[in-house]
Amino acid sequence: NNNPVLEAHPTDYTNHPFNVSRNDNMIAINSAIEVDITGQVCSDSIGTYIYSGFGGQVDFIRGAAHSKGGKPIIALHSTAKNGEVSRIVPFLKKGAGVVTTRADVKYVVTEYGIAYLHGKNLQERTIALINVANPKFRPDLIKEAKGRYLLR
């Protein structure tokens, strides 16, 4: 329509991490279906069942991480199914896709707080993620983490 106020670009431009990072203080808030205790994020499937697409999650997570003052955030409720299922889990469900790897995850936010994971080792990440899980599931998460030698 030749509208000078509107500028449209394809997603390979708008979602490119380099272009995202050029915006100072970029805050990228993305959701997840579940996050394992090492920080791997599944946001597109429930096990082998494809629930949604992952869109530009990885692009915006990486772009915000490189933005001056930026913050890449994964935000989710700590539980599903009326509090009966933890969304912070020892392992992603069998067949679940890892959309955002633990290497890219900096912040995970639930109603119980913020887990800052950047630069932390697996034990520190595990502790931070268990601390933002629903308290009712923390003992089982700790037991699973110890069984995997993620906690001493």
Position 5 in a domain? no
* Residues 115-118: contacts with CB under 8 Å, at least 24 apart: 117/39
Q: Are the C-beta atoms of residues 74 and 108 closer than 8 Å to each other?
A: yes
Residue 72's CATH number = 3.40.1080.20
Position 116 in a domain? yes
pLDDT at 20 over 80: yes
The DSSP bridge pattern shows strands 107-110 and 71-75 to be parallel
Position 90 in a domain? yes
pLDDT at position 80 is 97
Question: Residue 115: which domain range?
Answer: 13-145
Stretch 17-41: mean pLDDT, rounded? 97
pLDDT at position 2 is 84
Beta bridge partners of 27: 71
Give 36: exposed, middle or buried? Use CB within 10 Å, 0-12, 13-18, 19+: buried
- Convert the pLDDT of each residue in 64-102 to its tens digit: 999 999 999 999 999 999 999 999 999 999 999 999 999
pLDDT at position 12 is 93
At 23, list the tokens: 């915006």
Domains contained in the chain, number: 1
Position 6 in a domain? no
Position 4 in a domain? no
The DSSP bridge pattern shows strands 85-86 and 41-42 to be unpaired
Position 152 in a domain? no
- How far, in Å, CA of 150 to CA of 64, rounded? 28
Q: What is the DSSP letter of 76?
A: -
- How far, in Å, CA of 41 to CA of 43, rounded? 6
Cβ neighbour number for residue 12 with a 10 Å cutoff: 9
Position 36 in a domain? yes
